[in-house]
Amino acid sequence: MLLTGLTASLVPIQSVQAAASSSSKAKVKSVRQAKPAPRSPRKVAARAAAPVREVVPSKPSFGTMYGLHDTEDPLDLKSSVAYVVDQDTNEVLFSKNPSAVLPIASITKLMTALLVVEANQSLDDKIEITDDDKDTEKFTGSRLAVGTTLTRGELLHLALMSSENRAAHALGRNYPGGLETFVAAMNAKAHMLGMMDTHYVEPTGLSSRNQSSAADLAKLVKTAHAFPLIRELSTSSEYTVALGRKQVRFGTTNGLVRKGDWDIGLQKTGFINEAGQCLVMQAQLAGRKLIMVFLDSAGKYSRIGDAERVRKWLTGAASPLAAVATPAAATTVSATALTPVISAK
């Protein structure tokens, strides 16, 4: 207020009188000034001459190319593949294209973590990120610059929680015998677990040649869940590591981990264009331990939405979990079996 009063006192009396006598003109003038200024011919010409950038569509997922998204299901899931099974009884509660073999993206890192933990390598060993750990498949970036040194435990944490590709690659590269031996061990472990539709070519999931089925991945989740360290690191919501002189915070790739209404024992997400959005989880619902697999989901948040739809169904009045003494085959919901009775959408 003091500054305003001082400014007003410095205006000459003649100027004030002139402004008062021509107030109507000022109003008209202000209205005229409010009209938009005409475009500059030079700017218009420059815009017209600017090259038009071609929008390149993203590569379609394998599930899209195979027509799996045309499979209807009673829950209207956005994932072309879905599978829900009781961890203890192996009772299949929901099944949608469970045998389809598709790229699995960073779900791969769950097998990477399993091998590292089973090898009993020291989690305190220092591992340096090198040029060999750069992504030469999709050319993605990373906050782990070449020359960064972290412990094996820190790299394992970042690989499971934040899906850090360089961390996963460095873990495989530092396996006894090197990367080639590690990939061979991944495939040998898959075969031992009965994952006959599964094949790995590298430890990150960036390659679309890392492929599996939902039924196979459920076996992997069940096996990995037996390791407390994998459960702990995969369900961590955030983690801070020292990168040089800076403390850098990493977060989980699965928003459900932060939600208090979910009891998640293990989880892993994944995405590349060829695989779509993917998610595997172990969670407790209605007093039972369940394994959920969602592959090739269309949309950034659709895999989370699908998990919520399944949970709503399983905890609702029509839930098969509420059935008493019902044979497993009768409680199974199969998208393929129900397709004929569902109206087209």
Nearest C-alpha neighbor of 107 from the set 149, 79, 86, 132: 79
Beta bridge partners of 251: 238
Active site annotation includes 9: no
> Helices 108-118 & 214-224, crossing angle to 10 degrees?
30
Task: Tell me which of 106, 207, 208, 213 is the catalytic residue.
Answer: 106
Q: How far is CA 324 from CA 3, 313, 320, 330, 332, in A?
A: 80, 17, 9, 11, 14
In Å, how far are 6, 48, 235, 280 from 15, measured between CA atoms? Answer: 16, 47, 72, 76
Pairing outcome for strands 149-151 and 92-96: unpaired
Give me the catalytic one of 78, 79, 95, 109: 109
3-state percent helix, strand, coil for the chain, nearest multiple of 5: 40, 20, 40
Residue with tokens 């679309």: 208
Strand 211-212 and strand 238-243: pairing?
unpaired
Specify whether 106 is catalytic.
yes
Distance (Å, whole) CA 230 – CA 39: 62
Using the structure block, give the residue that is written with the tokens 């898959």: 190
Paired sense of beta strands 126-128 and 102-103, if any: unpaired
* Angstrom distance (rounded) from CA 207 to CA 108: 10
Helices then strands, counting H and E runs in the chain, come out as: 14, 12
CB atoms within 10 A of CB 252: 20
Q: Is 213 a catalytic residue?
A: no
Q: Among all chains, which residue has been given the structure tokens 């218009």?
A: 44
Question: Which residues are known to be catalytic?
Answer: 106, 109, 163
